[in-house]
Structure 1
């Protein structure tokens, strides 16, 4: 008699995320996933047809969370909104690592994976548009330098999330420190 299903789709995606981050896309496979699940391996197929589908669904789930949090930010004050947005990004700092493997997913194997990756690309564009809008507004209000091109501001800001928290402070405090450093630089 087989093992009974004892995990949800959400739990399946949580474990997938952890394993993809630990092993990379190339090192992740359904056998590895099944070794970390309490139920039968066949239960995975009740949710997803293959590796491509489950990893793409995992990516979609993570970026959906970021989009939801980012869209809830009040943009009245662009500087405050940028700081809050950085906190959202730092909370999901693994997003860049996870999405870095998106190009490896063979969408020819799965229409569902293709749809999810299309969603991920559009969501990434949505985040970039939000950042650009906030930087434009901050420049118009003379809160940040106008001589720095918007793509440089967006790219530099986005890369702050890859800064390792070597002092192990809570995420909100860490993102505030990063924001202060980004705004003021390290120069006296």
Structure 2
């Protein structure tokens, strides 16, 4: 008798994300995934045909969560929007690590993987344009130093996201602390 499926599509993508972050694209395979799931490996194939499809879907879901929240931001107040964007990015702080191997996905072998990677690329472009627009607006409004080139501001912003939260501070509080240090420096 076959084992009954006992996991959801969401749980499948959660586990895929965890394993890809732990092992990377090259260390991940469907056998490894099935070893961590209750039920038969064949159940995975009800959702995805191969490794590339499931990893691409996982990437799409992660960046999609960010895109949905970032798209809804009120950009009227550039600094508030940047603070809220930092909150959003910190919630999915492992996104860049997850997307690092997107170029390895074989999109020619799978239409589903191709569509998901196209979505990831377009979402990434939207987020890049949004961030640049907010930084330009903040500079024009004199909230950010104009003598520092925009790419430096953006680079520092992304370094905030990569700052290890060694104290396991809740994300909203962690985001506020990082934003304050970025805006005001470390000294009072």
TM range (shorter): over 0.9
Match of 1:161 in 2: 161
Match of 1:111 in 2: 111
Deviates more, 1:126-135 or 1:53-62: 126-135
Aligned: 1:151 with 2:151: yes
May I ask how many residue pairs the two structures share in their alignment? Answer: 188
Give the distance between the partners of 1:30 and 1:153, measured in 2 at CA. Answer: 41
Provide the secondary structure at the position in 1 that maps to 2:108. Answer: helix
Give the distance between the partners of 2:132 and 2:3, measured in 1 at CA. Answer: 50
CA shift digits 1:128-154 (9 cap, x unpaired): 111111111111111111122222222
Match of 2:80 in 1: 80
Query: 4+ runs of 1 displaced by more than 4 Å?
Result: none
Q: CA deviation at 1:167?
A: 2.1
Superposition map of 1:3-14 within 5 A:
3-14=3-14
Provide the secondary structure at the position in 1 that maps to 2:7. Answer: coil
Deviates more, 1:53-62 or 1:142-151: 142-151
Match of 2:25 in 1: 25
Match of 1:137 in 2: 137
Provide the secondary structure at the position in 2 that maps to 1:107. Answer: coil
Give the distance between the partners of 1:159 and 1:42, measured in 2 at CA. Answer: 41
Q: CA deviation at 1:187?
A: 5.3
Give the distance between the partners of 1:72 and 1:17, measured in 2 at CA. Answer: 25
Match of 1:172 in 2: 172
CA shift digits 1:25-76 (9 cap, x unpaired): 1111100100111121001111100000000000000000001111122111
Aligned: 1:36 with 2:41: no
Q: TM-score, normalised by structure 1?
A: 0.95
Q: CA deviation at 1:92?
A: 0.4
Q: CA deviation at 1:177?
A: 1.0
Provide the secondary structure at the position in 1 that maps to 2:169. Answer: coil
